[in-house]
């Protein structure tokens, strides 16, 4: 499993019968407020058949935010006006996301908007911003569950599944 956390080593897990290749699930961190909200959605009676887990929910949030053409501006607006005012010591939870959504955040992290002279935001902050923006737009989480279904269908069509760890 790859990780976006600086204190965790990169670790690749493969099945004996498979070739070594990029992992489908990437580890990240999520700030506690957003984690608690997603946990409520995870445990919601609306999250059934199938029951989506954190990688699906986090990835759905990222997909929803990036569906808008102004995604980068919205994310950096949230980071620069709301997240920056929180304590940098705010607890975070270790979770996972799917590789396609990780790639979106990685590209954003490497973008000019995150370079000098602008402040540098880390992947956990970008992930948290996407979840927070989804929470602001749809407190019920219904749109997140629908996006999780679309993301799952797309992964299935591409033949991508998570490897057991």
pLDDT tens, residue order, the chain (165 aa):
444 444 333 333 333 334 434 578 999 999 999 999 999 999 999 999 899 999 999 999 999 999 999 999 999 999 999 999 999 999 999 999 999 999 999 999 999 999 999 999 999 999 999 999 999 999 999 999 999 999 999 999 887 555 555
Q: What is the DSSP string of 139-161?
A: TT-HHHHHHHHHHHHHHHHHT--
CA distances from residue 90 to 29, 97, 99 in whole angstroms, order as listed: 11, 21, 26
Question: Could you state, in order of their start, the residue ranges of all structural domains in the chain?
Answer: 23-158
pLDDT of amino acid 88: 92
pLDDT of amino acid 158: 84
pLDDT of amino acid 161: 57
């Amino acid at each position: 499993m790859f990780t976006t956390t600086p204190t965790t080593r990169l670790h690749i897990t493969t099945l004996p019968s498979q070739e070594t290749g990029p992992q489908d699930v990437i580890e990240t961190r999520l700030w506690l407020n957003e984690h608690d909200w997603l946990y409520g959605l995870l445990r919601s009676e609306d999250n059934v058949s199938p029951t989506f887990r954190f990688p699906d929910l986090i990835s759905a949030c990222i997909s929803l935010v990036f569906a808008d053409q102004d995604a980068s501006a919205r994310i950096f607006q949230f980071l620069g006006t709301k997240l920056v005012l929180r304590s940098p010591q705010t607890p975070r939870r270790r979770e996972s996301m799917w590789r396609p959504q990780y790639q979106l955040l990685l590209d954003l992290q490497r973008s000019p908007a995150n370079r000098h002279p602008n402040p540098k935001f880390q992947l956990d902050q970008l992930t948290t911003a996407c979840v927070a923006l989804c929470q602001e737009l749809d407190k019920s989480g219904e749109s997140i569950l629908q996006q999780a279904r679309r993301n799952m269908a797309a992964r299935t069509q591409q033949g991508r599944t998570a490897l057991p760890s």
